[in-house]
Amino acid sequence: MTHHDGSDDSASTISRRTLFGLAGGAAVIGAAAGGVGVARSLTGREPAVAFFGPHQAGIATPAQDRLHFAVFDLGPAVSRAGLTALLVAWTNAAARMTAGEDVGTGAVTGNPGTPPDDTGEALDLTASRLTVTIGFGPTLFTDSRGVDRFGLAAMRPPQLSDLPSFPGDALTDAISGGDLCIQACADDPQVAVHAIRNLARIARGTAAVRYSQLGFGRTSSTSSRQTTPRNMMGFKDGTANIKAEDAAAMNSDVWVQDGDGPPWMVGGTYLVTRRIRMLIEPWDSTSLTEQERVIGRTKGSGSPLGRPAEFDPIDLEAKGSNGEPVVDMKAHVRLAHSTNNGGALLLRRGYSFVDGTDEFGRLDAGLFFMAFQRDPRRQFVTIQRSLAGKFNDALNEYIQHVGSGLFACPPGVAPGQFWGQSLFT
Amino acid sequence: MRTRSPRVVAVAAPVIVVLLLAGCSSQDAVTGPARVSTADAPIAVKAGDTTCDVATTSLAAGRHTFDVTNTAALVTEVYVYAAGDRIVGEVENVGPATIRSLIVDLPAGEYQVACKPGMVGNGIRTAVIVTGGTAPTLTRDQNLKAAVDSYRSYVESETQALVDTTSAFGAAISSGNLDAAKQAYPTARIHYERIEPIAESFGELDPLIDMRIDDATEGTPFVGFHAIEQLLFEKKTITGAQALATNLTANVGKLAALIKTVDFTPLMMGNGAKSLLDEVAKSKVTGEEERYSRIDLVDFAGNVDGAKHVYTALRPTIQAKDPQLVTTLEQRFSALVDLLGTHAAKPGAAGLIPGSPFVSYDALTPDDVKALAVEVDAISEPLGRISSVVTGG
């Protein structure tokens, strides 16, 4: 057996590394920058993100164009040793794929009498700025029946408290919760899918996919170098996002600090995911004025209502000539604004999704909301309490939260370590 | 139940004894002074619904005869397993109140006698200790030969069981009794599914036995097991089934004759095991194959049995080359068989199909089906590695 059991077979591999020169080496140098920097190969064709570093990649990394997000449940008979073996095998494979290399002995370079270790669809593709990010769900610590399957209950951070239910939630169990999550982001969708597919394969017999979600068109800019993208409602989204370059904000609102909770999470962060279905057809038949009132920004430039430019501060006090607030009292930007939520900010890193059409022929589309934060109780929960329900965010008439997830994303790893190692030692 | 007529057994035994030898095909497998002749008294095994009583659990190395009495309400089977569930001998299709004999050569070691009422699951097990002469350590080639011999006998005995149970199925149809015919269907199916990859190697014959309605074309009408299944279970009629049954019996007979010509190899076995689980993933776990009778779990179990036999036969070879693969396969086969066992039919419970040891596919919840699919995917990965381990040097 090779990497399926967690051993490292890097020595025996000829892979995409050979096609792209020193990409792997460049990626390691980039690690010193803390998982943020983007390394480039000497050919300039191989944008590989550093896998190793104090923080996991895929959080502060400027958002890529494509997402494949997968949630896993561990099998009923899996032991603590089985769990750590999986984390070791996953870490090895993720490090290789992030550098643009094949998994294990490769797609075409292993023993031809055995199934190839790598599934092969990323051959000839660049690393495509792939990042692979892991998170641990609440059920990893205490399962739904209150059982501490892996001896981890005492290590569960208070920040990983189950999310409360919010008014208007229409959550489905099958696309909510889960023991483990993997976020794979890349600029090429095939590279992101390849990552999830190979990690799911390595997990067989230990963990099975509970659900997965494909996403496209990053809906937030996470770097001041990126333009603000539009979501499926046609509006710019994420203008007021935390930017990775803002070290103070990253430390105060994203990265877990000393003293926040159990030490194993220091340098990590918490991820909240929400599958938010947009009711596209009603939205499309709504007037522009009403759409802008609901959001609180203009659709064209993304400027706050009453202001000329996108990045102008929102004036929540401004009144129009009719004496009414310029930004509606129920506008999405007002209720989501940090001043309305005790200063709470999020590093939003969500993606649009379109999963074809539903049984009525309506677009099954929306936002796969993903937000990283230091403490979901203070941040996501506060903001969502402001937004949720009939009497709050005007946008609720056009959206529905159908899936939900909460995960503790451990700090980054150094070469030779595995994801979440500090949780087990 | 304890008393029986020796005359009946004496007549029946030569036909029905299933003889699988431990490693080699003769007494040479057993060495040392502890060899015991077959003249020793048979060891009584009482295979009940919840018990598996073995009269003597401490034996001297050598050849032994187990006289199996089925005291259960269901058809049973009894296996003698060596370490790692390697099958040393088995006797299948033992009807209630029936007695059958099982002859095995047992070198020193720890064994388990497993009674499987309903012919499913891991069985109720009784440990047996054998002391005395040990089996010689076999070379890789000897191990492979033993594995091939063991698999060949398995396929031959399953083929014979298929011939017998198909003809019983045909007889039930001829009798005109719809319920009896439906009840005889699952028993024949399981034997086909256990040897499916071998049967499928005869490309002309397999469709005539196992085609689905979707495979029928203008030139090739819908025939075989599933055509009869549709009449009995969906159209609820026996009319038209007789002619189909006659052809099916004839084709199964042709299959049995062809199987005698097969040149079994370790590679074929390894690939066959993988292909059995691929079958499960494609047409059993999806509920595609037995769409009228809903006995998909019977086929599922048959495929798993067939794959597990390949694995246990090849186990010594795999152990020598890749012990980690053995550990993984042990765990995953056991998880899969245990999970299947949770869907065993229980009298009076929902989803009961007369004659089927498993509940109806329709009685499974989406979560049940997903859990089965997860285990099938889990075992397919290590099974895919067997071929290279047993063919590589």
Yes or no: say if A264 and A425 are a contact pair by the CB < 8 Å rule.
no
Angle at A39 between CA A38 and CA A41, to 5 degrees: 145
Residue with tokens 């350590």: B137
Of B325, B331, B381, the CB nearest to A204: B381
Burial label for B237, CB within 10 Å (0-12, 13-18, 19+), is exposed
Q: Assess B328–A contact: CB distance below 8 Å, yes or no.
A: yes
Joined together, the tokens standing for residue B105 give 């050569």
Rounded Cα gap, residues B362 and B353, in angstroms: 11
How is A135-151 classified by DSSP, letter by letter? Answer: EE-HHHHS-TTS--TTS
Q: Assess A229–B contact: CB distance below 8 Å, yes or no.
A: no
Q: Residue B100: which of B133, B68, B130 has the closest Cα?
A: B68
CATH code of B96's domain: 2.60.40.420
Rounded Cα gap, residues B286 and A40, in angstroms: 46
Whether residue B5 is contained in a domain is answered as no
User: How crowded is residue A318: how many other Cβ atoms within 10 Å of its Cβ?
Assistant: 13
pLDDT digits (tens, 9 = 90+) for A256-292: 999 999 999 999 999 999 999 999 999 999 999 999 9
Give the pLDDT score at A229: 86
CB-CB under 8 Å, B378 with A204: yes
Burial label for B27, CB within 10 Å (0-12, 13-18, 19+), is middle
Joined together, the tokens standing for residue B281 give 């993933």
Of A75, A114, A206, the CB nearest to B385: A114
Rounded Cα gap, residues B138 and B149, in angstroms: 14
Joined together, the tokens standing for residue B158 give 């399953």
Joined together, the tokens standing for residue A329 give 């009292």
Give the pLDDT score at B75: 82
Q: Residue B262: which of B388, B145, B146, B153 has the closest Cα?
A: B153
| Percentage helix, strand, coil for chain B under 3-state DSSP, each rounded to 5 | 50, 15, 30
Joined together, the tokens standing for residue B61 give 């190395």
CB-CB under 8 Å, A77 with B331: yes
Domain that holds residue B54: 18-138
pLDDT digits (tens, 9 = 90+) for A140-184: 999 989 999 999 999 999 999 999 999 999 999 999 999 999 999
Whether residue B208 is contained in a domain is answered as no
User: How close is the nearest chain A Cα to the Cα of B334, in Å?
Assistant: 11
- Paired sense of beta strands A351-357 and A207-218, if any: antiparallel
Question: In this predicted complex, what is the ipTM?
Answer: 0.78
Of A75, A114, A204, the CB nearest to B388: A114
Rounded Cα gap, residues A423 and B82, in angstroms: 41
In terms of CA atoms, which chain A residue is nearest residue B274? A115
Rounded Cα gap, residues A279 and A105, in angstroms: 46
- Distance set, CA A111 to CA A92, A117, A381, B209, B266 (Å): 20, 9, 51, 37, 18
Give the pLDDT score at A344: 93
Rounded Cα gap, residues B151 and B373, in angstroms: 27
CB-CB under 8 Å, B325 with A77: no
Greatest distance between any 2 Cα atoms in chain A: 78
Rounded Cα gap, residues B364 and A310, in angstroms: 55
User: How crowded is residue B304: how many other Cβ atoms within 10 Å of its Cβ?
Assistant: 25
pLDDT digits (tens, 9 = 90+) for A224-239: 777 888 999 999 987 7
Yes or no: say if A338 and A220 are a contact pair by the CB < 8 Å rule.
no
Mean pLDDT for the stretch of residues A130-144: 97
Residues 39 through 78 of chain A touching chain B, CB cutoff 8 Å: 75, 77
CB-CB under 8 Å, A115 with B331: no
Where on the phi/psi map is residue A388: left (φ > 0), alpha (ψ -120 to 50), or beta?
beta
In terms of CA atoms, which chain A residue is nearest residue B323? A1
Rounded Cα gap, residues A336 and A314, in angstroms: 12
CB-CB under 8 Å, B332 with A1: no
Of B374, B384, B392, the CB nearest to A115: B384
User: How close is the nearest chain B Cα to the Cα of A400, in Å?
Assistant: 25
Rounded Cα gap, residues B190 and B196, in angstroms: 10
Joined together, the tokens standing for residue B46 give 């009482």
- Coil, strand or helix at B68: strand
- Coil, strand or helix at B348: coil
Q: Assess B382–A contact: CB distance below 8 Å, yes or no.
A: yes
User: How close is the nearest chain A Cα to the Cα of B383, in Å?
Assistant: 10
- pLDDT surpassing 70 at residue A15: no
Whether residue B27 is contained in a domain is answered as yes
Residue with tokens 């086929």: B299
User: How close is the nearest chain A Cα to the Cα of B270, in Å?
Assistant: 11
Give the pLDDT score at B201: 86
Rounded Cα gap, residues A55 and A39, in angstroms: 16
Whether residue B228 is contained in a domain is answered as no
Instruction: Name every chain B residue with its beta carbon within 8 A of the beta carbon of A77.
Output: 331, 335
- pLDDT surpassing 60 at residue A37: no
Yes or no: say if A165 and A107 are a contact pair by the CB < 8 Å rule.
no
Whether residue B126 is contained in a domain is answered as yes
CB-CB under 8 Å, B381 with A201: yes
Whether residue B43 is contained in a domain is answered as yes
Give the pLDDT score at B45: 95
Residue type present at position B370 = K
Instruction: Name every chain B residue with its beta carbon within 8 A of the beta carbon of A5.
Output: 324, 328
Where on the phi/psi map is residue A128: left (φ > 0), alpha (ψ -120 to 50), or beta?
left
CB-CB under 8 Å, B325 with A1: yes
Residue with tokens 């937030």: A220
Interface test with A, best of B274, B332, B377 (most A CBs within 10 A): B377
Residue with tokens 């990690």: A199
CB-CB under 8 Å, A205 with B378: yes
Give the pLDDT score at A39: 39
Domain count, chain B: 1
Give the pLDDT score at B27: 36
Residues 96 through 115 of chain A touching chain B, CB cutoff 8 Å: 111, 113-115
Give the pLDDT score at A5: 41
- pLDDT surpassing 90 at residue A9: no
Q: Assess A208–B contact: CB distance below 8 Å, yes or no.
A: yes
pTM, rounded to two decimals:
0.80
Whether residue B66 is contained in a domain is answered as yes
Instruction: Name every chain B residue with its beta carbon within 8 A of the beta carbon of A114.
Output: 384-385, 387-388
Interface test with B, best of A105, A114, A118 (most B CBs within 10 A): A114
User: How crowded is residue B384: how many other Cβ atoms within 10 Å of its Cβ?
Assistant: 17
Rounded Cα gap, residues A117 and A128, in angstroms: 21
pLDDT digits (tens, 9 = 90+) for B168-198: 999 999 999 999 999 999 999 999 999 998 9
Q: Which residues of chain B have pLDDT under 50?
A: 1-39
In terms of CA atoms, which chain A residue is nearest residue B326? A1
Of B324, B377, B384, the CB nearest to A5: B324
In terms of CA atoms, which chain B residue is nearest residue A110? B388
Rounded Cα gap, residues B154 and A266, in angstroms: 58
Instruction: Name every chain A residue with its beta carbon within 8 A of the beta carbon of B381.
Output: 4, 115, 201, 204-205
CB-CB under 8 Å, B387 with A114: yes
pLDDT digits (tens, 9 = 90+) for A70-126: 999 999 989 999 999 999 999 999 999 999 999 999 999 998 888 999 999 999 999
Whether residue B96 is contained in a domain is answered as yes
pLDDT digits (tens, 9 = 90+) for A352-390: 999 999 999 999 999 999 999 999 999 999 999 999 988
Yes or no: say if A52 and A412 are a contact pair by the CB < 8 Å rule.
yes
Task: Please enumerate in sequence order all residues whose Cβ is within 8 A of that of B203, keeping only pairs 6 or more positions apart, or say none.
Answer: none
In terms of CA atoms, which chain A residue is nearest residue B373? A208
Arithmetic mean of pLDDT over chain A: 89
User: How close is the nearest chain A Cα to the Cα of B96, in Å?
Assistant: 35
